[in-house]
Amino acid sequence: MTIQNKSKSPTSVTLSLRLDPRSKYLIDLLGREQKRGLTAVIERSVERAAADTFLMSEGGEGISFLAMVDQIWSTDEPTRLCNLARLRADLLTVDEMRIWETVKISPGFWQEGRLQLGLVQAHWDALLVQIERRQYLPNNKPFDLPG
């Protein structure tokens, strides 16, 4: 497991896809019809699929996957991870689960049962270093805030 600090990530990412020729042709034709590039066609299709996919919220109401992502998304990685963990912990990767489990068992990050996100943000890099050092150990250790 390698946990990387992705705080300085670019505003867009490169993605390689392996498509069958028919799907590639379909995307090409859609792009021509919509006067869009391939990237714009794919981005729009993903957004529409997310808007059309509904989940049940805690209150029993339906929420679109896109609306859920809008609640989770942040350019700040600690905020994004904590938002995802609180709304849909089942979608966390193994690395994200290790981070979240460490946050959950670290009393310094909590006050009266409420997550102190500012403290998680302030100690994010040190938290990742601790988790990286303990990656092969069987359990997490609470993160001790300095001071």
pLDDT of residue 56: 77
Phi first, then psi: give them for residue 113, nearest 5 degrees.
80, 5
Q: For the purposes of burial, counting CB atoms within 10 Å of the CB of 6, is it exposed (0-12), middle (13-18) or buried (19 or more)?
A: exposed
The whole model's pTM is what?
0.78
CA–CA dist 133, 138 (Å, integer): 12
- Tokens at residue 122, please? 């302030």
Q: pLDDT tens for the chain, 147 residues: list them.
A: 555 555 556 678 898 989 999 999 999 999 999 999 999 999 999 999 999 999 876 677 788 999 999 999 999 999 999 999 999 999 999 999 999 999 999 999 999 999 999 999 999 999 999 999 988 887 778 998 887
The Cβ-side half-sphere exposure at 10, using a 13 Å CA radius, reads: 3
pLDDT of residue 46: 95
